[in-house]
Amino acid sequence: MWATGGDIVKYVTTAKDITDVARVFHFLSEAKGRPTIGLAMGPTGMISRLLSPKFGGYLTFGALSKGQESAPGQPTVQDLIEVYRVKSMDRETVVCGVVGKPVYHSKGPILHNRGFAELNLNYVYVPFLVDDFAHFMSVYSESDFRGFSVTIPYKEDALRLCGDKVEFVAKGIGAVNTVIREKDGELKGYNTDCEGALSAIEDGLRHSGLATNSESPLKDKLFVVIGAGGAGKALAYGAKERHARVAVANRNYERAKTLAESVGAEAIELEKLADFRPETGMILANSTSIGMEPEVTKSPISKDALSAYSLVFDAVYTPKETQLLKDAIEIGAVDVSGEEMFYRQAFAQFKYFTGVPAPERAMRDALSSPPVAHKGTLPTRTPPPRTFPVSAQCSIGMFNGRGLRVSQFVCAYPFKNGWSFSHSAHFGMLMERSQVPSGSFALRY
Ligand code: NAP
């Protein structure tokens, strides 16, 4: 393609797995100063668009607004500029991100990137949509890929991968939610969910005057955890560490028993939770996904059964005020939201990523007042019809507004009254002979 004499070479493929994108990054790195665009389409290709400047890509594409994407997996221009700061990204930029499946609902990028911007750190935080955790970590093994938030379903995979380099609390819980690549290349695992949730609950008790001792206000309290997954383990372990008496209720009772045994707690069948009120003033912590969007009217326990609790915590943070918390407020219990846990576990991760304390105020503001969407403006001028010279080896030359020739490796062939392009046709789009794609534009950084 370089040999065709194009001023700019453009290579676009579709990622089937996030590790495919590494090949696009290598291709960009091989460009040796020749203007080159390299992108991978599709959901798992997203990082090729977000990290293009780091690998020397000539430009990346952004949609003017959501719904106006001209290719699958395209972020908006506003996110590229304001959240991912592509204009200041360079080869030195340190990459962190959240690894999970699904992952694009995560608010981590908004939070961490605002923190990096606030402290003027040359870091970026991106979503990694991953199918195989160990394979992903082995492919993105450069020291620049420094810190990873680990979410569903990889917290136990992360524990295994870090081997004996797992910090005490994470080992006790049996789940790693933070992986750091150290200077010697070794991976070290931590768990910040535990401290994030427990410190939020402790502060909830302190601020409402329910704390009666200076050690931990949870000491000797009866702490009921609903759920025995990753978050449930962190809550049960953390409460036990603070000398609370712990009970675990879970839909799958065997899991409840296993967790209860591992931390020295009591197991309760979920159906019996409504009648479980051995005393008043108990603490309730929901760690199931019940009540999460879109099923926002659901709650893991009836309002009547809440009267035995003085504080109710919900790990669910979308929405911020769940049905469970609404019920807790109505019966006069102290409510602590999952959003508070989310902030606190993220602040701890930020410190692991960067070595400096998180700018908490700025990061909280990032979620409470996210960037306002600007109204995009599409070009109003209809481009003149043009003929794409289609060469034998299926590359086409397009002329952009500045008269630069872009060599784009797409297969173009006559179809009905116009032209079909291999990559476009693949997604069911047809481009007329006289049409050029609209709804996105090349973003030169
Ligand atoms: P997980 O490991 O998959 O565990 C899910 C738990 O929810 C299991 O105990 C499961 O019970 C239970 N569950 C799921 N659907 C249920 C239903 N319909 N009825 C009854 N029980 C149900 O997930 P996780 O990592 O622990 O996360 C759980 C929740 O916590 C999610 O909503 C997540 O967003 C939230 N979370 C929040 C934060 C934060 O920072 N605020 C951090 C981590 C997690 P079974 O064992 O019977 O399947």
DSSP string, 142-185: STTEEEEEE-TT-HHHHHHHHTT-B-HHHHHHT---EEEE-TTS
CA–centroid distance, residue 197 to ligand 1 (Å): 14
Query: Rounded to an integer, what is the distance from CA 358 to the centroid of its chain?
Result: 18
Contacts of 154 by beta carbon, 8 Å cutoff, 6+ apart? 99, 100, 101, 130, 133
Amino acid in the structure at residue 238: G
Protein residue with least CA distance to atom 46, ligand 1: 252
Distance 214 CA to ligand 1 centre (A): 31
Q: Token pair of 241, please?
A: 């560490």
With CA atoms as reference, report the closest residue to 38 among 26, 50, 24, 51. Answer: 24
Residues in the chain: 445
Alpha carbon distance 176, 323 (integer Å): 29
Task: Name which residue sits closest to atom 6 of ligand 1, judged by CA.
Answer: 288
Angle between helices 338-354 and 360-368 (to 10 degrees): 130
If one counts every other C-beta atom within 10 angstroms of the C-beta of residue 134, the result is 13
Ligand 1 cavity residues, CB under 6 Å: 152, 193, 196, 227-232, 250-252, 255, 287-290, 292, 315-317, 338, 341-342, 345
What one-character DSSP code corresponds to residue 225? E
Mapped onto helix, strand or coil, the DSSP state of residue 202 is: helix
Ligand 1, residue 318: give the atom nearest the CA: 34
Distance CA 187, CA 239 (A): 28
Q: How far is the CA of 289 from the centre of ligand 1 (A)?
A: 4
pLDDT value, residue 213: 61
Contacts of 243 (CB under 8 A, 6+ apart): 215, 216, 218, 219, 220
Task: Return the pLDDT at 381.
Answer: 43
Which residue from 331, 329, 223 is spatially nearest to 285, judged by alpha carbons? Answer: 223
Record the tokens describing residue 198, joined without a space: 């427990």
Q: How far is the CA of 130 from the centre of ligand 1 (A)?
A: 20
Which residue's CA is the nearest one to ligand 1's atom 7?
A: 288
Mutation test residue for ligand 1: of 193, 198, 251, 344, the one with most atoms within 8 Å of CB: 251
Question: Do strands 309-314 and 396-399 pair parallel, antiparallel, or not at all (unpaired)?
Answer: unpaired
Q: Name the one residue in this structure whose structure tokens are 């503001």.
A: 365
Which one, of 340, 281, 336, 287, lies nearest residue 307 by Cα? 281
Q: 300 alpha carbon to ligand 1 midpoint, in Å? A: 11
Range 296-320 burial, b when 16+ CB lie within 10 A, else e: eeebbbeeebbebbbbbbbbbbbbe
For residue 101, report the distance from its CA to the centre of ligand 1, in Å.
14
Q: Which of 298, 380, 348, 328 is CA-nearest to residue 169?
A: 348
**Distance of CA 282 from the midpoint of ligand 1 (Å):** 21
Residue 56's Cβ-side half-sphere holds a number of Cα atoms within 13 Å equal to 15
Q: In 3D, which of 196, 116, 197, 195 has the Cα closest to residue 362?
A: 116
221 classed as catalytic: no
Cα 385 from Cα 113, distance rounded (Å): 42
Pocket test for ligand 1, best of 250, 288, 342 (most atoms within 8 A of CB): 288
The pick from 105, 258, 287 for probing ligand 1's pocket by mutation, whose C-beta has the most ligand atoms within 8 angstroms, reads 287
As beta bridge partners, residue 125 has: 96
Give the model's pLDDT for residue 5.
79
Amino acid at 374: H
> What CA–CA distances, in Å, run from 381 to 237, 377, 384, 386, 438?
63, 12, 9, 15, 11
**Tens of pLDDT, residue by residue, the chain (445 residues):** 888 878 888 889 999 999 999 999 999 999 988 899 999 999 999 999 999 999 999 999 999 888 888 877 789 999 999 999 999 999 999 999 999 999 998 999 999 999 999 999 999 999 999 999 999 999 999 999 999 999 999 999 999 999 999 999 999 999 999 999 999 999 999 999 999 999 999 999 998 876 666 689 999 999 999 999 999 999 999 999 999 999 999 999 999 999 999 999 999 999 999 999 999 999 999 999 999 999 999 999 999 999 999 999 999 999 999 999 999 999 999 999 999 999 999 999 999 999 999 999 999 999 887 655 544 444 444 444 444 433 222 233 343 444 444 444 444 444 455 544 444 322 223 333 333 443 333 333 3
Which residue has the least CA distance to atom 44 on ligand 1?
231
Nearest atom in ligand 1 to the alpha carbon of residue 345 is 40
Catalytic residue among 87, 101, 107, 155: 155
Instruction: Outline where 16-167 has alpha helix (H).
Output: 20-29, 46-50, 77-78, 108-118, 133-139, 155-162
Count CB neighbours of 182 within 10 A.
Answer: 11
Atom 27 of ligand 1, nearest CA residue: 231
Cβ(188)–Cβ(182) below 8 Å: yes
Q: Is 431 helix (H, G, I), strand (E, B) or coil?
A: strand
